Amino acid sequence: MRLLRILGRVLALSVQRELAHRVNLTISVTMMVIDLAASVATLGLVFTQTATLAGWRPAEALALLGAFQLVTGLLNTFIEPNLAWFAEKVTGGRLDDTLLQPVPSFFMLSLGACQPLALPRVLLGGALLVWATVAGEGVTALGVAGCVALLAAGVVITWAVRVLLATLAFWAPGFEPSVLFSAFWQLGRYPVGVYHPVVRQLLTYVVPVAFVATFPAEALMRGGGGLGLGLGALGAGAALLALGAAGLAWRAGVRRYTGATS
């Protein structure tokens, strides 16, 4: 609960700071709406040429895009402001002050800052999910439950994988995975089934966009007969494994870190 209170205060202070620049806020929200509209239009163009996309119907692809936008908003709000270009923080010795604070370094260095300008993307993604649910057929309560569970699991997996990639800087300071991660992340706008099997495996187990977009949308739109709950259980197990691995890697990396003056 203490950590949640700290996170709440960080968010509140960040929102107050951003509201002081309302023109910037308006422009950012407008750009997000344009980006979402362009993504929806692109899907529309695709479905003028085919009835399905790797077996996905238009409403299902719309749900997938909504899930992707929702988790991307959370990623850009809470995770990327802390872990993007993390190698520079390691090589520059900027971790020292945080490691000395009386709070878990794993929490403060991965979630201690936020960028609330990205939060409207979460709302837009949620609205797109609702639209897809209304437009789709066969949506069940089990499917909705599975989708919610997978979205929560997807956020945790995304956080954990991003931490794992960041910890590589403790062993290889010259390697910065942020650009590579971002490039793979953008592939999550479409079902992973459209990609080559090798890329599909990467998007499921390395950069986990399958868990943040494809699986939640599949659970929502095709979640009858227990499929939604089955996928939800799979996502929960994957989230626990990813979080455990991230914690171990973080502790090992911090023990290796020698500080700015060493």
Q: What tokens were used for 137?
A: 């057929």
Residue-range domain boundaries for the chain: 2-256
Q: What percent of the chain has pLDDT over 70?
A: 92
pLDDT of residue 101: 73
DSSP code string of 212-241: IIIHHHHHHHH-GGGHHHHHHHHHHHHHHH
Planar angle of CA 253, 255, 258, nearest 5 degrees: 95
Q: Region 244-259: what's the mean pLDDT?
A: 87
Q: Region 48-77: what's the mean pLDDT?
A: 91
Planar angle of CA 124, 187, 193, nearest 5 degrees: 110
pTM: 0.86
Please provide the distance, in angstroms rounded to a whole number, between the alpha carbons at the two ends of the chain: 35
pLDDT of residue 228: 62
